[in-house]
């Protein structure tokens, strides 16, 4: 198995994404894939909040194509911001523009209030839209289960990755505004695994969908840790060691951001204490200042 690299919510921070991919040797300075047979998983929420969501989306699509041509893989999951952006387009954007029935639930405003950038939306091409609608909600690799949100949404949709994916894709292509609202509300839920029975919830996810550890984005690590944000925030392991939180809060805290390389060897995650993080690359390196001489 090739290397496995994973990154949480990028939220329009194209410059930070480029720097992290360069430091991880997954891309060069001209945005070409350098990862050979490696797998890169992005946990969703590529856009909104930060300045260049469309630029992030196009960069990910470019690397996905280049990686695929050399036996590598880029997997970009569906986040709730991808769904919000699609809903804004459908009910108010070029596709709908007041469309049939308009926007009775204010989905366009909901997207904008959550950091939606009109410039990103107005420049989306039909093939970007098709790509967005095809984002998988879940992904399994080695002993890892990857999802965007620390929400129960996935279990309520179905009991296999195939079924959840099928329902999600069908939903994104044809649905009533009421269903969009319900889906977005369920997707926006968070902190499922910090509750008292968080470890039980995590075990259920892993029993149903497979894998020994669950990795998610969506809720920034500083929120889960109850700490103020800082540029040196690191991946957060919790829920009895079963869950790894990877939203590095790039759009919330200047200088924040990280990408991790995870364990892929079979059996290495069997011991309960194994965290499975082989390497963490930060956007802001910790600088040690020599004291005295
Ligand atoms: Mn999210």
What tens digit of pLDDT does each residue of 175-188 get? Answer: 888 999 999 999 99
Number of structural domains in the chain? 1
pLDDT for res 91: 87
Q: Which of 30, 40, 28 is nearest to 3 (CA)?
A: 40
The confidence band for 291, taking pLDDT boundaries of 50, 70 and 90, is low
User: Residue 291: inside a domain, yes or no?
Assistant: no
Ligand 1 centroid vs 292 CA: distance in angstroms? 45
Ligand 1 centroid vs 293 CA: distance in angstroms? 47
Largest CA distance in the chain: 73
Ligand 1 centroid vs 83 CA: distance in angstroms? 10
pLDDT for res 285: 78
User: Residue 161: inside a domain, yes or no?
Assistant: yes
Ligand 1 centroid vs 79 CA: distance in angstroms? 5
Domain containing residue 210: 4-282
Ligand 1 centroid vs 244 CA: distance in angstroms? 15
Ligand 1 centroid vs 154 CA: distance in angstroms? 14
Task: Give the domain CATH number at 198.
Answer: 3.60.21.10
Q: What is the mean pLDDT of residues 78-87?
A: 97
User: Residue 199: inside a domain, yes or no?
Assistant: yes
The confidence band for 174, taking pLDDT boundaries of 50, 70 and 90, is confident
User: Residue 289: inside a domain, yes or no?
Assistant: no
281 exposure class (CB count in 10 Å sphere: 0-12, 13-18, 19+): buried
Residue 13 predicted with pLDDT over 70: yes
User: Residue 290: inside a domain, yes or no?
Assistant: no
Which residues are within 8 A (CB) of 175 and not within 5 positions of it... i.e. 6 or more apart? 183
Ligand 1 centroid vs 80 CA: distance in angstroms? 5
Ligand 1 centroid vs 44 CA: distance in angstroms? 7
Residue 209 predicted with pLDDT over 80: yes
Q: Note the pTM of the prediction, 2 decimals.
A: 0.95
pLDDT for res 258: 97
User: Residue 287: inside a domain, yes or no?
Assistant: no
């Amino acid at each position: 198995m090739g290397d496995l690299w994973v990154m949480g919510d990028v939220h329009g921070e194209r410059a930070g994404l480029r720097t992290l991919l360069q430091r991880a040797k997954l891309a060069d300075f001209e945005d070409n894939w350098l990862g050979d047979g490696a797998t890169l998983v992005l946990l969703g929420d590529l856009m909104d909040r930060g300045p260049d969501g469309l630029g992030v989306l196009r960069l990910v699509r470019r690397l996905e194509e280049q990686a695929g041509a050399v036996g590598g893989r880029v997997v970009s999951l569906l986040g709730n911001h991808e769904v919000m952006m699609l809903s804004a387009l459908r009910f108010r954007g070029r596709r709908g523009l007041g469309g049939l029935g308009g926007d009775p639930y204010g989905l366009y405003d909901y997207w904008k209030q959550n950091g939606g950038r009109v410039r990103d939306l107005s420049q989306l091409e039909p093939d970007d839209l098709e790509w967005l609608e095809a984002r998988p909600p879940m992904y399994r690799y080695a002993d890892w289960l990857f999802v965007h949100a620390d929400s129960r949404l996935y279990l309520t949709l179905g009991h296999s990755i195939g079924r959840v994916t099928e329902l999600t894709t069908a939903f994104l292509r044809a649905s009533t505004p009421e269903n969009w609202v319900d889906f977005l509300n369920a997707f926006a839920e968070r902190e499922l695994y910090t509750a008292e029975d968080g470890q039980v919830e995590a075990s259920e996810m892993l029993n149903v969908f497979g894998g020994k550890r669950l990795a998610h984005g969506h809720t920034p690590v500083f929120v889960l840790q109850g700490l103020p944000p800082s540029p040196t925030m690191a991946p957060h392991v919790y829920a009895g060691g079963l869950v790894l939180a990877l939203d590095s809060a790039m759009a919330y805290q200047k200088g924040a951001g990280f990408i991790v390389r995870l364990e892929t060897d079979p059996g290495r995650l069997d011991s309960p204490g194994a965290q499975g993080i082989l390497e963490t690359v930060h956007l802001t390196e910790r600088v040690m200042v020599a004291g005295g001489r």
